[in-house]
Amino acid sequence: MWQNILEFFQTSGYAGFANSQMMVLRFIPGELIMIVISCVLLYMGIGRKFEPLLLVPIAFGMLLSNLPFGGVFTPAEGGQPGGLIYYLYYGVKMGIYPPLIFLGVGAMTDFGPLIANPKSLLLGAAAQIGIFIPFVIAFYLGKAFPSLGFDLKAAASIGIIGGADGPTAIYLTSKLKPELLGPIAIAAYSYMALVPLIQPPIMKALTTKRERQIKMEQLREVTKVEKIVFPIAVTIFIGLILPSAVPLLGSLMLGNLFRESGVTARLSDTAQNAMMNILTIFLGVSVGATANAARFLQPQTLMIIALGLFAFSCGTACGVLFGKIMCAATGGKVNPLIGSAGVSAVPMAARVSQVVGQRENPENYLLMHAMGPNVAGVIGSAVAAGVMLSFLG
């Protein structure tokens, strides 16, 4: 009996710490550090309100999977069922959750400002250059320091952080480099939350006071028919040019069609509420659970965090610079500040454009003009992910 009791205590989490395979500085078990990190992420999500809908499930998933012997992420083996998150993770592994979440995002998105001002699509394209610059750098880093393990697939997964679009980043990474899901998802959502801190200095550095004061013409009204035809036409157009973008873009556009058709309100409502919330919980918890100590507590995690910040900055800069080109080309009708919204991070980036613009000229209302590049950025990063997938997937 005492023998059995002793064995029982051998299965406690403390015993798990003692036998951890990942001792940092030779005496701190890696799992414990991961638990602390997950608490910090919970604090960021709850205390600081950084994208809490995703960061809270991600952080809690990380917490659960790092409790030694907790078994929530244990694979099924030899007839024994696996842990809960092992099953939830299937939806990530098979690329099911991100497109279905995009369905909900589509049902929430109003493409009206983009239809009213189609040129803003180009700003959404320009900001995606912020995906490719860190891709190049990550690739050369990987060549220089092979121990980082940054091959092309890893580089593409890092670059996509610059797309500022969570489901796209998770979808691409799950296809190319699932072992990096944890740090990439955390970086993507954290920087999306930090957009109001990251963007303004870059925006100011690259524009003149005069440019920032430009007022833009009011947008035309968009008819209901245009809004209905838009998602269908986008699916066909881009689906024919770049088939690998169909899963993400097609779902986004189907959700948007549910929203705009006027006859499928039931489906639109469920897609953006019950279904999306369920999938968000499942996605967050299972992405978080991939971040185990042995994988996460590595130099490349820090590198990913750093490159992610760089990616966001590149995207912002490219958007603003292209805005300046459009400003020049239109004879000063485009305020370059709306270019930064092209990174997506809907709707924060558009609000940042509004705030920065209004600070220079209190009567300047850029919000609706920035929403165009903002939603274009969602399409743009899905296209970029499609290209990555068709070369590397």
Partner 1 sequence: MDTVVVTETAGQMWTIVVVGIGTVFLCLFALVVMVSVFKAIFVREPKAAPKAEAPAAPAATAPAAARGLDGAVVAAIVAAVSAASGVPAASLRIASIERSGFNTPAWGHIDRA
Site for Na ion in 316-355 (CB under 5 A): 344
Over the Cα atoms of the chain, what is R_g? 22
**Within 98-157, which residues bind partner 1 (CB under 8 A)?**
105, 108-110, 114-115, 118-119, 121-122, 124-125, 128-129, 131-132, 135-136, 139-140, 143, 151-152, 155-156
- Interface with its own copies, residue 360, by CB under 8 A: no
CB of 157 to its own copies, least distance (A): 16
Report the distance separating Cα 168 and Cα 315, nearest Å: 16
Give the residue, chosen from 20, 22, 35, 83, that forms a contact with partner 1 under the rule CB under 8 A.
Answer: 35
CB of 242 to Na ion, least distance (A): 15
- How does DSSP classify residue 47? I
Binding mask 206-245 for partner 1 (x = CB under 8 A): --------------x--x-xx-xxx-xxx-xxx-xxx--x
Report the distance separating Cα 23 and Cα 39, nearest Å: 19
- Interface with its own copies, residue 75, by CB under 8 A: no
Residue 91 or 196 having the CB closest to partner 1: 196
Q: Helix, strand, or coil here: 216?
A: coil
Of 175, 230, 148, 142, residue with least CA distance to 387:
175
CB of 321 to its own copies, least distance (A): 25
Report the distance separating Cα 16 and Cα 169, nearest Å: 33
**Within 237-296, which residues bind its own copies (CB under 8 A)?**
239-244, 246-247, 250-251, 254, 257-258, 261-264, 266-267, 269-271, 273-275, 277-278, 280-281, 285
Residue 127 or 297 having the CB closest to Na ion: 127
CB of 160 to Na ion, least distance (A): 9
Q: Who's near 83: CB < 8 A, 6+ residues apart?
A: 70, 71, 72, 73, 74
Report the distance separating Cα 245 and Cα 94, nearest Å: 16
Q: Helix, strand, or coil here: 28?
A: strand
- Classify burial at 348, counting beta carbons within 10 Å of its beta carbon; exposed 0-12, middle 13-18, buried 19 or more: buried
Give the residue, chosen from 256, 301, 354, 381, that forms a contact with Na ion under the rule CB under 5 A.
Answer: 381
